[in-house]
């Protein structure tokens, strides 16, 4: 079936993917000081990897080359934890050092802004597709 809103398959997939990315970034920010994650070790920064994929609905036809996007995987950043001196902390080692994740809040904010800009661009596509669909439906009317 040809959707009335052209390109809506790719756009909705992108909105979903950007949302996942925003979730991951906010998780990173929220856990910037987590010295004990679920596995008992300091939290480790997560990162979303995007991948383009061919639209399943349209494997042939003129728009077959238009690709959609998906989250391929969520990777764990392997940068080592940083040690801060905090002797009274329950997770401190013998030297009074606590291992916390090496999360740069500015880096995360930049990621968040990039993500929300991409999200906005995709919303603009939907708005535009809607206008075009309305124009198409008005063919033949004066």
Partner 1 sequence: MIDALFNQTGYQATKRLLDATVLRQEAIAANLANVETPGYKRVDVASDFTTALKQAVSSGDAGQISSLRPQITTDQTAVAANRDGNTVQMESELLAMNQNSLAHAVETQLITGHMLKLRLAITGRPQ
Give how many residues touch partner 1 by CB under 8 A: 39
Burial (CB count within 10 angstroms: exposed 0-12, middle 13-18, buried 19+), residue 102: middle
Q: Does 27 bind partner 1 (CB under 8 A)?
A: no
SS3 content of the chain, % helix, strand, coil (to 5): 40, 20, 40
Closer residue to partner 1, CB minimum distance, 93 or 131: 131
Q: Does 13 bind partner 1 (CB under 8 A)?
A: yes
Select from 7, 25, 35, 43 the one that contacts partner 1 (CB under 8 A): 7
Closer residue to partner 1, CB minimum distance, 37 or 124: 124
Closer residue to partner 1, CB minimum distance, 75 or 93: 75
Return the SS3 of 103.
coil
CA angle, corner 18, sides to 115 and 124, nearest 5?
A: 75
Binders of partner 1 among residues 52 to 111 (CB under 8 A) are 52, 62-69
Residue (of 30, 24, 26, 31) closest to 50 by Cα position: 24
Q: Could you tell me which residues are beta bridge partners of residue 47?
A: 75
Q: Does 128 bind partner 1 (CB under 8 A)?
A: yes
Q: Does 131 bind partner 1 (CB under 8 A)?
A: yes
């Amino acid at each position: 079936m040809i959707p009335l809103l052209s390109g809506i398959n790719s756009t909705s997939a992108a909105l979903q993917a950007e949302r996942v990315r925003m979730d991951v970034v906010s998780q990173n920010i929220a856990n910037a000081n987590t010295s004990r994650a679920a596995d008992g070790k300091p939290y480790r920064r997560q990162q979303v990897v995007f991948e383009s994929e061919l639209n399943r609905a349209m494997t042939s036809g003129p728009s077959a080359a238009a690709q959609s996007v998906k989250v391929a995987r969520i990777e764990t950043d392997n940068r080592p934890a940083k040690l801060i001196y905090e002797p009274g902390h329950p997770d401190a080692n013998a030297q009074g050092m606590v291992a916390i994740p090496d999360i740069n809040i500015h880096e995360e904010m930049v990621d968040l802004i990039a993500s929300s800009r991409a999200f906005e661009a995709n919303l603009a596509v939907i708005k535009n597709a809607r206008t075009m669909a309305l124009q198409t439906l008005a063919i033949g009317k004066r």
